Every structure is written in C-alpha cells, then in structure tokens.
Amino acid sequence: MKSTILTITILALSFLLFFPVMRANAATLKMVGSQWTVYDLFGSQVEASHTTTVSTGGVEFPFPDSSSTPAGFTLELLDSFRTSLTSSNTLTAMIKVVQTSGSPVFQGNPSGGCPSSSPSLCPGAVRLFFEANIAQAASVLPISCVGKSFNEHNFWWSNTPVAATVATPGSYYQLTAGGSGGTVKLQVQLDPANWSDLCGTRGNQSFAATQEFLAAIAKIQFLGLSFGSGYFFANGVGVNYTTGTANFQLISYSTS
C-alpha cells in the first residue's frame, strides 16, 4: 500500500531548516494545546490551527465536517521535535476518539477510493508518523514517485498489519462510528521493517532504503500522527456532521 500525502500538504509542512542533533533514550512530549498543530484540508486549501489542552491531560481537536462544501478532512497532528531517535526503540501514542454529539460517522477523503477500495482502511485510520529534515537523499534511489528534486525519505509512516484496539496496541487505529469507546495505544518499534516512506518504500526494502530510514531518525523535525483512508495514509478523515460530531484526543506521545 502506498503511504502518501498531498503535495500541497508537503509544501505546507516542509521547512528546509537545519537543527543541531541531540541524543536521548526516552522523551515524553508536552501535552499543551499551543504546542500541537492540526492540519485540515478544505477543498484544495490546507489550514493549520492549534489544538486545545484537555484539563484531564492531553490535547484535542474537533474533526471537520466531511459533508460540508468544501468538505473538510484532518490530515495530520504534529509537534516540533529536534531530538535524534537513533538511541530510541519505540514510538508510543495514547489516543481517544470522543463522541460529542449524535452518533458520528467517519468519512475518508474520496481520493483514497473508499468505500469500494481497500475496505480494510475505510472509512479511515490514524497512525504514527514522523518527518525528518534531510535536504537530499543520502543515496538517491533510481526510481522515486517525487523525482530527485524532493526527498521522499523525509516522511515515514508506521506500516504494520497490526490494528490497535482498546484492548491491544497496534500500528494504526481504524476509526469506527460513535468513537473509540476508550483509550487506544499506538505503539511501533523503530525497526525499518515497520515503516514506509512517502512513496511506499519500506525501510527494509533495500540497503539504500534502510540507510535513508536511519538517516531520517537521526534528524527528526516533527513527530505526530496522520489520518488517511483507502490507499493513502494521510489524505484525510472527517466526520459527516449530519450524523454527529467527534473530537480526537491525544493523551500522550513518547519515545523510549
């Protein structure tokens, strides 16, 4: 399955800056609303806004209305992070999808082919994501979906077949009508085999791909989550407001 995000999202989120690299074995990201940014797609426009701090711990935002004109879809939830993950083994996020009215039905961006295509990821799913800050690939692969002028290896998604539930951790959580009904743990080891990049290249697909993955975790720019449906991992998910509304809560996010 390809893991991709819209070009416009990439342009909106990619800042070609250089930061000093630090090493750390474990870190817990602060759960402050102003620190986390949610990116929503409305038509062809990406809008960024800060989350709200949850009094009991965590941050949250409302899913946009997928039945509006233009339709709204959440793409990503990100926090700036400048620490190398080369000494870390795992990313973990505790999440919750909270029903705020009615019985909300989730809808994925139609670009992913839902509901007829890839039914296992319809209407949508949320998964771990990180973005690196490498100006150019350390070893440019001969074929890339974005060409040699853009580094596909800056963008990595957790990509294992293990779905998370309120009872068991996993690589992704499939959104279901009405909310999650409890807290869900997303947890994936930083093993190249568990991640795929912007063009769908797995981190263990070749020696060159593994080197790119290792280079990426050494120079992290953002940590967070992405929302996608059907064939894509970050094309966006919304809620049909004629059925209800829902908030997404990120309770904690850590490296270990």
Per-residue pLDDT tens digits for 26-78: 789 999 999 999 999 999 999 999 999 999 999 999 999 999 999 999 999 99
What's the rounded Cα separation, in Å, for the pair 238 and 199?
Answer: 24
Q: In the prediction, which pLDDT does 25 show?
A: 57
Q: In the prediction, which pLDDT does 147 show?
A: 67
Q: What's the whole-number average pLDDT of the chain? A: 88
Buried/exposed 108-125: b ≥16 CB within 10 Å, e otherwise = bbebbbbeeebeebbbbb
Chain centroid, CA 36 distance in Å: 13
Instruction: Tell the burial category of 84 from Cβ atoms under 10 Å away from its Cβ (0-12, 13-18, 19+).
Output: middle
Q: In the prediction, which pLDDT does 26 show?
A: 78
pTM exceeds 0.85: yes
Q: Which residue has the higher pLDDT, 150 or 236?
A: 236
CA 134, 139, 140, 144 dihedral sign is: negative
**Main-chain phi, psi angles of 96, to 5 degrees:** -150, 140
Q: Tokens representing 49?
A: 């806004």
pLDDT interval class at 116 (50, 70, 90): confident
Q: Which residue has the higher pLDDT, 148 or 201?
A: 201
pLDDT interval class at 114 (50, 70, 90): confident
What's the rounded Cα separation, in Å, for the pair 198 and 6?
Answer: 10
Q: In the prediction, which pLDDT does 137 show?
A: 53
Element (DSSP H or E) covering residue 207: helix 207-218
Percent of the chain with pLDDT over 70: 84
Q: Tokens representing 2?
A: 């390809």
The answer for 67, left when phi > 0, alpha when psi is -120 to 50, beta otherwise, is alpha
| 89: number of Cβ within 10 Å | 12
Angle ∠(65,66,72) on CA atoms, nearest 5: 75
Q: In the prediction, which pLDDT does 11 show?
A: 36
pLDDT interval class at 10 (50, 70, 90): very low
Q: Answer yes or no: are the C-beta atoms of 40 and 207 closer than 8 Å.
A: no
